Each structure stands twice: as C-alpha cells, then as structure tokens.
Amino acid sequence: MARRTRTDVDEQRDQIIEELGGEDAETTAEREAILGELEEPKRCECGCGTVVGKRSRFAVGHDMKLKARLLTRYDEGDAEAGAELIRRGWRTEADLTARSANGTATEEQKRERQRARVQAKLDRAREQVTALDQQLAALA
Ligand SMILES: [Zn+2]
C-alpha cells in the first residue's frame, strides 16, 4: 500500500481547487467539504487532538496519560472507563476486580483490616509467651 504523503495531498488539493475554482459561497462550501474528507488527519486517541502518524495511535506518552485517566475514572465508579481499559488490553476483568476491592475501601474498612492484622500479631505473641512460660516451667 502506497503511503500518501503530504505532497500527494497538496497536489490533490491544488487540483481540486482548480477544478472547483470560483469564489461563490456554494463552490467554497463544496470545496471545503471535499478538502476536509481528503486530508482528515489521524489524531491521538487520548483525545488531545494532536495529529499523529498513520501508524501511530497516540502521541508519545499519551497512552500512559489516557491509561492513568481511565484508572482514575474507574476508581471514581465509571464502569465505562473500566470497559475501555479492558477493551484496550490494559487491564483484565480480574485486575479491575482486585483494584476495586482495594481502592474503594472506606476508612472504616481499612481500620478493620488493620485491627485484624494487629490482632493476629498479638495472638502470635501470646502463643510465644505461653510456649516460653511452659519452657520455663519445665526447667523449674
Ligand atoms: Zn494525546
């Protein structure tokens, strides 16, 4: 497939302008519609509007920007952002489920988890104390 260069577009534009020559409003509108179709540039998929090369989907670094933005939106409860992350292959359904489990924890849930961790530590410490007491008793 021959890649259409800027020069080709310029030539086509000149040709169209010549063919449609004339300055009445109707012709100008027609000309602009045709030119608009002719050189519709490929733009960065992040939505920033930057024109990118025919083989690129994003301007440099903008895939990361979009990913971060989608994750933030997902964390805020936007299901469509989650669907887009999966569609683009950036996250799996399982990734997002795990993320939700952590990310949307309320302060109360976080405290509850921390209490459980500290309690488990305390239980282990008590078991050790009991074991040491038994050792000491055995030596008496
Ligand atoms: Zn962009």
Distance 61 CA to ligand 1 centre (A): 8
pLDDT over 90 percentage in the chain: 45
Confidence bin at 1 (pLDDT 50/70/90) = very low
- Does 134 map to a domain? no
Determine the 3-state secondary structure of 43 from DSSP.
strand
Q: At what angle do helices 79-87 and 62-75 cross, to 10 degrees?
A: 140
Tell me if 90 sits within 8 A of 114, measured CB to CB: no
> Same domain, yes or no, for 33 and 97?
no
> Same domain, yes or no, for 100 and 55?
yes
- Does 133 map to a domain? no
Distance 62 CA to ligand 1 centre (A): 5
Average pLDDT score over residue span 55-81: 92
> Same domain, yes or no, for 60 and 117?
yes
> Same domain, yes or no, for 26 and 88?
no
Domain range for 24 is: 1-40
Average pLDDT score over residue span 6-11: 69
Distance 48 CA to ligand 1 centre (A): 4
pTM of the full predicted structure? Answer: 0.48
> Same domain, yes or no, for 55 and 108?
yes
The domain tally of the chain equals 2
- Does 92 map to a domain? yes
Distance 15 CA to ligand 1 centre (A): 33
Determine the 3-state secondary structure of 51 from DSSP.
strand
Q: How many CB atoms sit inside 10 A of residue 54's CB?
A: 9
> Same domain, yes or no, for 102 and 118?
yes
- Does 55 map to a domain? yes
- Does 137 map to a domain? no
> Same domain, yes or no, for 79 and 21?
no
Distance 59 CA to ligand 1 centre (A): 5
